[in-house]
Amino acid sequence: MNNKIMPRKLAGFWELEPEKEMLFEEMIDKIKSVFAKHCFMPLDTPAMELSEILLAKSGGDVDKEVYRFTKGSTDACLRYDLTVPLARFVAANENNLAFPFKRFQIGKVYRGERPQKGRFREFYQCDADVIGDGELSLVNDAECVKLYKDVFDEFNLKGQVKVSNRKVLFGLAKALGLEEKFGDIAIIMDKLDKIGEQNVEEQLSEIGCSNTDAEKLIKLTKISGYEDAIEKASCLSNDEEFVCGLNELKNVVSYVRAMGLGEDDFVLDFGVIRGHNYYTGTVFEAYVDGCSGAVGGGGRYENLAEYFTDRKLPGVGMSIGMSRLFDYLDQSGYFGDEVKSATQVAIIPLGDTLLDCLNTCAKLQANGVKAEVFAENKSFKSKMKEANRKRASYALIMGEDEVKNCVFALKNMSTGEQESLTEQQLLNKF
Amino acid sequence: MNNKIMPRKLAGFWELEPEKEMLFEEMIDKIKSVFAKHCFMPLDTPAMELSEILLAKSGGDVDKEVYRFTKGSTDACLRYDLTVPLARFVAANENNLAFPFKRFQIGKVYRGERPQKGRFREFYQCDADVIGDGELSLVNDAECVKLYKDVFDEFNLKGQVKVSNRKVLFGLAKALGLEEKFGDIAIIMDKLDKIGEQNVEEQLSEIGCSNTDAEKLIKLTKISGYEDAIEKASCLSNDEEFVCGLNELKNVVSYVRAMGLGEDDFVLDFGVIRGHNYYTGTVFEAYVDGCSGAVGGGGRYENLAEYFTDRKLPGVGMSIGMSRLFDYLDQSGYFGDEVKSATQVAIIPLGDTLLDCLNTCAKLQANGVKAEVFAENKSFKSKMKEANRKRASYALIMGEDEVKNCVFALKNMSTGEQESLTEQQLLNKF
């Protein structure tokens, strides 16, 4: 039989080896516990939506990248983010939900783009959003910032959230008569860190900003700090929108301070813009010390579900870049060496003791111990090797004499020490 | 704006309201903990595979039901089960994996069939499999049975696993000269419970079984019990395969007994056949008292990845019907009333106390309490109503006097009782 099929997966699709997957799930569980403490509820939407729904507000790249297909009379797409499904869910259930509605979702999304380093066609998104009915307190914006802080604490990470408000830059642009061009301005200025001041000025001039205006805009984005930064910025304009944005920031700062965040944990930074024109108020990006690029971002949007309902549903949301966070945790040694194994106790029969091994294994498992019997027909030596390879914490060697005398020989696989225990001592050990 | 889009999801796609989703995830976590105790590792494969891979061993219904599409030069399908991806993964990593390889996977699969009651186009599968290299001890078959027992215990369910071995029926058919027809025979006899003895006899006669032969086959499938059942069955044939199947069952019984399973927990039942011709040895089905239909099933298969590799990789696997189990748990009151809320403590500001509320909320969350501040601009009355609707366990009402005097008024939302606590007492309360 030589017509075998190459067992390959699709290019650009992520798949962790089981040892890494254990760690990834540990990370997910910890993030979930943070969302739970903040009273966010889980949502699990289908991976597919009707194309009419999914593409309602998209365009450009999304249309090109989306996986779309028909089956019978159904025209469907794989979701490319978790926000459109949230909008569909909230609009469909607007009369049954308690607002503000706080949900989180950790799920895979699909983008048929060219795979690149760090860019996948299938990847996890992790979003937490709060949706209000008509209006929504800025406390929720502050809570998004606090969520990052709690996630950082959960993983013993040092990090900082940079916070701004889109109304501030928009108000300044408006005061300069550049209101119409704001979409482009935001996209260009979001690249400041990447392409540098000169290139930004050039690109701004290409869309018709004067040098003086460009300098004023850039000046704003260089301001950072706390209450002092708000004061410093306030000299730049007295446009109504501008002032409103600064006042919102003032409130958000007072809320995050009340939540216990210190100046290590957050900073106002008018350089945070977020390319997405979706955002209309508070915007933020979360950074971890030592990790290049943001591990998350988000912000406030005016109206989640305008394509589906007349009801005004403002929201604010934060997201976490799961693969970036995981890679950082993994590489920085967060997961340590000790808990990497699925097997705590490898039970190794020696002689005719298989049934006794199974019995002991069941007792250990009943006590919550991750135990397994190495029952295959292999040599004792190869089983000990196997226990090592699986990084089992302990090997329990059960020979016929041990069974007869009810003695349990437990070997610590990292120190090599071996002790003799009674059954009760063994069960109490874990 | 009246050209709104109806926010509807695709027909036949499951989506739980967040309150139910919390319970569903609680169920998943408990099942995962059982797999972990048995040292199974998690695997998370992509939702899509190359069509060449996915359809390698399929045919008939699968080809019709699968969601298949092309994107650029890629011809891909959504997975219709978790076994083909497992086979692809194991074959691709055969030189890096430690065998026996024990993995579980809980993930969604996709079938574009006509939606019916209890049948979905997207649904969760939950599989645990052990794959051996060349051979695989029957201890693993017994462990699958034990997994059900431990899942039942985890949910305080009474249930029983019915165990058989396909070699027994096959051996009997062979002894009767019906070897060639065994595939059809198994499919027909698997329907015994549904269509009754007479219909089975008729269908068997249609494919050329004599009445005497049909009676012999049916006689076997009526035998059930323990060691006695093996003895009873052994009179029916001395075909080599038949005897081998009985011996395998004898071993499996001794293993599950050693694992502590009693006669309430399992039974041999030669009526268990499993329609799928994939199975070659041990087969089993798991039943929960009071729940109609099996909540799971599985068995032994000779060669997992024969389409991808020459290496012989026998396996045994069990699966759990997630929506059936969930519906049963939910309807039988398993989840109770108390823990259904995402909110333990609803903090309600009264007067100008918002910042104090945020501060207290952060302290409660830091102690692991699921707390949130009701910060929206609504009346006290409507906030209390909201706390009720969210089934918060407690309301913490923080008026200006309370804040001044450092007194915390905590109201038990189910009893209506209210107590006054110091901050320390409040934090110690949970």
Answer whether A255 sits within 8 Å of B103, measured CB to CB: no
A266 interfacial to chain B (CB closer than 8 Å):
no
Instruction: Inform me whether the pLDDT recorded for A337 exceeds 80.
Output: no
Burial of A323 (0-12, 13-18, 19+ CB in 10 A): middle
- Cβ–Cβ < 8 Å for B226, B182: no
Instruction: Inform me whether the pLDDT recorded for A233 exceeds 70.
Output: yes
Mean pLDDT of A342-366: 97
Q: Which of A42, A65, A43 lies closest to A54, judged by CA?
A: A65
Answer whether A67 sits within 8 Å of B72, measured CB to CB: no
**For chains A and B, what is the number of CB pairs under 8 angstroms?**
261
Supply the mean pLDDT for chain B.
94
For β-strands A101-110 and A296-301, DSSP reports them as unpaired
B12 interfacial to chain A (CB closer than 8 Å):
no
Q: How far apart are CA A189 and CA B118, in angstroms?
A: 52
Closest in B25, B68, B98 to A42, CB measured: B25
A394 interfacial to chain B (CB closer than 8 Å):
no
Closest in A9, A49, A356 to B88, CB measured: A9
Distance in Å, alpha carbon of B173 to nearest chain A alpha carbon = 29
**Residue A34 CA to its chain's centroid (Å):** 12
Closest in A7, A108, A358 to B259, CB measured: A358
- A108: chain B residues, CB-CB within 8 Å: 47
Confidence of residue B338 (pLDDT cuts 50, 70, 90): low
Distance in Å, alpha carbon of A355 to nearest chain B alpha carbon = 5
pLDDT of A88 reads 96
Cis peptide bond prior to A100, omega within 30° of 0: yes
Distance in Å, alpha carbon of A371 to nearest chain B alpha carbon = 6
Radius of gyration of chain B (CA): 28
**Residue A121 CA to its chain's centroid (Å):** 17
Query: pLDDT tens-digit profile of A122-138?
Result: 999 999 999 999 999 99
Q: Which of A148, A144, A147, A41 lies closest to A99, judged by CA?
A: A41
Mean pLDDT of A211-238: 96
Closest in A25, A44, A258 to B42, CB measured: A25
pLDDT of A2 reads 61
Answer whether B389 sits within 8 Å of A359, measured CB to CB: no
Q: Of residues A193 and A288, which shows the higher confidence score?
A: A288
Using left for φ > 0, alpha for ψ between -120 and 50, and beta otherwise, residue A8 falls in beta
Domain A345-428 class?
alpha beta
A35, A68, A144, A372: which to substitute to probe chain B, counting the most B Cβ within 10 Å?
A: A372
CA torsion sign for A174, A178, A182, A188 is: negative
- B308: chain A residues, CB-CB within 8 Å: 4-7
Q: How far is CA B395 from CA A97, B10, B361, B371, B390, in A?
A: 20, 39, 12, 10, 11
Contact map slice: A 70-99 vs B, CB within 8 A: 71-72, 74, 76, 78, 87-89, 91-93, 96, 98
Mean pLDDT of A300-309: 94
pLDDT of B276 reads 75
Answer whether B4 sits within 8 Å of A307, measured CB to CB: yes
Instruction: Inform me whether the pLDDT recorded for B62 exceeds 80.
Output: no
pLDDT of B261 reads 98
Domain ranges of chain A: 18-331, 345-428
**Residue B117 CA to its chain's centroid (Å):** 18
- Cβ–Cβ < 8 Å for A253, A225: no
Of all residues in chain A, the one with the smallest CA distance to B391 is A98
Length of chain A: 430
- B136: chain A residues, CB-CB within 8 Å: 376
Q: How far apart are CA B14 and CA B24, in angstroms?
A: 12
Instruction: Inform me whether the pLDDT recorded for A288 exceeds 60.
Output: yes
Answer whether B373 sits within 8 Å of A139, measured CB to CB: yes
Q: How far apart are CA A425 and CA A417, in angstroms?
A: 16
- A93: chain B residues, CB-CB within 8 Å: 17
Answer whether A260 sits within 8 Å of B362, measured CB to CB: yes
Answer whether A365 sits within 8 Å of B72, measured CB to CB: no
Q: How far apart are CA A318 and CA A146, in angstroms?
A: 10
Contact map slice: A 37-66 vs B, CB within 8 A: 37-50, 52-53, 56
Query: pLDDT tens-digit profile of A141-183?
Result: 999 999 999 999 999 999 999 999 999 999 999 999 999 999 9
Concatenating the DSSP letter of every residue in B224-278 gives EESHHHHHHHHTT---HHHHHHHHHHHHHHHHHHHTT--TTTEEEETT---S-TT
Strand partners, A71: A74
- A25: chain B residues, CB-CB within 8 Å: 42
Q: How far apart are CA B40 and CA B322, in angstroms?
A: 18
Place of tokens 């001794």: B254
Strand partners, B131: B101, B315
CA torsion sign for B124, B128, B133, B136 is: negative
Query: pLDDT tens-digit profile of B345-397?
Result: 999 999 999 999 999 999 999 999 999 999 999 999 999 999 999 999 999 99
Choose the weakest-confidence range: A3-7, A229-233, B355-359: A3-7
Answer whether A9 sits within 8 Å of B308, measured CB to CB: no
Answer whether A96 sits within 8 Å of B17, measured CB to CB: yes
Q: How far apart are CA A127 and CA A152, in angstroms?
A: 16
- A14: chain B residues, CB-CB within 8 Å: 46
- A378: chain B residues, CB-CB within 8 Å: none
pLDDT of B2 reads 62
Q: How far is CA B382 from CA A311, B279, B354, B385, in A?
A: 20, 59, 17, 5
Token pair for residue A16? 């962790």
Distance in Å, alpha carbon of A280 to nearest chain B alpha carbon = 19
Contact map slice: B 308-337 vs A, CB within 8 A: 308-310
- B359: chain A residues, CB-CB within 8 Å: 258-260
Supply the mean pLDDT for chain A.
94
Closest in A4, A15, A366 to B46, CB measured: A15
- A149: chain B residues, CB-CB within 8 Å: none
3-state SS assignment for residue A133: strand
Answer whether B98 sits within 8 Å of A10, measured CB to CB: no
Instruction: Inform me whether the pLDDT recorded for A302 exceeds 70.
Output: yes
Distance in Å, alpha carbon of B57 to nearest chain A alpha carbon = 11
A358, A363, A398: which to substitute to probe chain B, counting the most B Cβ within 10 Å?
A: A358
Contact map slice: A 109-128 vs B, CB within 8 A: 110, 112, 122
Q: How far apart are CA A295 and CA A286, in angstroms?
A: 6
**In B40-191, where does DSSP find H-type helix?**
51-54, 61-65, 83-92, 139-154, 166-175, 182-189
pLDDT of A405 reads 95
3-state SS assignment for residue A271: coil
Q: How far apart are CA B38 and CA B40, in angstroms?
A: 6
Instruction: Inform me whether the pLDDT recorded for B275 exceeds 80.
Output: no
Answer whether A38 sits within 8 Å of B372, measured CB to CB: yes
- Cβ–Cβ < 8 Å for B142, B259: yes
- B255: chain A residues, CB-CB within 8 Å: 354-355, 358
B69 interfacial to chain A (CB closer than 8 Å):
yes
Residues 6+ apart with CB under 8 A from B114: B12
pLDDT of B252 reads 98
Instruction: Inform me whether the pLDDT recorded for A306 exceeds 60.
Output: yes
Q: Do domains B18-331 and B345-428 have the same CATH topology?
A: no
Q: How far apart are CA A104 and CA A206, in angstroms?
A: 41
Using left for φ > 0, alpha for ψ between -120 and 50, and beta otherwise, residue A383 falls in alpha
Instruction: Inform me whether the pLDDT recorded for A140 exceeds 60.
Output: yes
CA torsion sign for B404, B410, B416, B417 is: negative
Q: Which of A89, A237, A293, A266 lies closest to B13, judged by CA?
A: A89
- B98: chain A residues, CB-CB within 8 Å: 386, 389-390
Place of tokens 């226990």: A387
Confidence of residue A26 (pLDDT cuts 50, 70, 90): very high
Answer whether B4 sits within 8 Å of A310, measured CB to CB: yes
Distance in Å, alpha carbon of B204 to nearest chain A alpha carbon = 34
- Cβ–Cβ < 8 Å for B329, B339: no
A235 interfacial to chain B (CB closer than 8 Å):
no
Confidence of residue B3 (pLDDT cuts 50, 70, 90): confident
Query: pLDDT tens-digit profile of A67-77?
Result: 999 988 889 99
pLDDT of A100 reads 96
B391 interfacial to chain A (CB closer than 8 Å):
no
pLDDT of B341 reads 85
- B370: chain A residues, CB-CB within 8 Å: 36-39
Contact map slice: A 169-198 vs B, CB within 8 A: none
Place of tokens 């190495």: A374
Instruction: Inform me whether the pLDDT recorded for B339 exceeds 70.
Output: no
Which CATH code fits A18-331?
Answer: 3.30.930.10
Token pair for residue A119? 């860019």
Answer whether B47 sits within 8 Å of A108, measured CB to CB: yes
